[in-house]
Structure 1
């Protein structure tokens, strides 16, 4: 199948592109710079948020996968552009080119009324997909782990390896998470392209095991060989400090990230298992390679 991956040059897109090629698909990746690192992929320049280059990118495609997502607004990129405008423009381009299959990457926890602009704009994008009239699937991954990821290989590794004599822990650290391996995410997207039962479905993607935020910190600390103690930072203090430092370009955490961490990120894996056949690889298996890898940044 000819598959266009919009926003496919970052962490998830790189892994997904390799997997799609492995499964025999012909892959085009559209990104702002039109560059990438996967041999065999055709890269084209397009900016979905500004509706630039999409008309050309969708030509001769049979399916579109929309991956564009940002966790922090910077460099002229906004949540509205990435999660709402880009989805709208991509759906319009798909309809104009006669492309019926559209698979959208949202996020576990996306809904209105959360106070998180990330979650709320993701929810707005979902609604555009549902009302598009296309053969759509919406996938909502939890935290995604794998070589090059930003959370385990970036945020948590940074907290453990920071020069401070302790590892900061938000509150009591009991917020629940069910992280999922990037290989399972790629498999779910690829299977969505050919599964009739995936059409018209919104599905949470989660891993086989639930952890608290504290357990994740301890797991990363152990793998890195650190013995620094965890220091709980009271939520009352975090509630005061985070809004002040969030707008700063060097802030270690934004208001949106803080709200999402406090909310946790977990769901029942049963509906996912009814639709997809996934390996469900464990975090413990992959963590050594993740912590030895560099972060993959999109373009």
Structure 2
């Protein structure tokens, strides 16, 4: 009975913190230095946590302490929570300075659209400092930023949202890939070619169906269920640039790569996958002046891009 009650209790937070530091840094010594405690204290906290969860999270290989499979799974689960804690704490601290504006976004939008344009906003708003954070959690329940750029089907209770970018994706690849596997003039030419997948494998299947490639899954033809799967668009973009295969990506977010020739748009064959980019703010909360200006600038920049396309 005691064990059951123990499992129902909250975990020992000091021990969880020590485990997270060890798993992230890969060293008892470095974890101790970060938390300003001794390595032996870190080891003690790890043992305490293992006793609580009743399974080994670490094992010793020679003189080195490493994670078990259960330890790796546990770290993946708690690392997101620690990321939220650090982000939220940083935002609260930054609000002591009225110049600070925080915005969270996913990497592809940040690197492909936001950051290349941000200097223009900062030049026109020298009294505002912008803190850019990763939105690591697709359910977005823990977002504490002033503004957030979200990707999905717009189902976020408690938030006001403005659509920024549609869900249209197009097939792209690297010039080297095209030289090796081309020419590609129609959808059927993708038969047998490597595909790379962004977040799920369903989008390629929908694109192939949309453009009449129905003989999928057979020998010598496209099989949308295989090929490497990447967690987000930035990783998918890197894979396409590296020549791993054909990817489905949004043109406005890869404009630099298309203009420079790093990527080639294969076909004028878009597919709306039903997931869009939105600018979101918390409902019923008045934005600080700097955040309001940044939100207005983002919308104007997006409209300017649409008018120029």
- TM-score interval for Structure 1 and Structure 2 normalised by the shorter chain: under 0.3
Q: Calculate the TM-score normalised by the size of structure 1.
A: 0.24
Higher helix share: 2
Q: Calculate the TM-score normalised by the size of structure 2.
A: 0.23
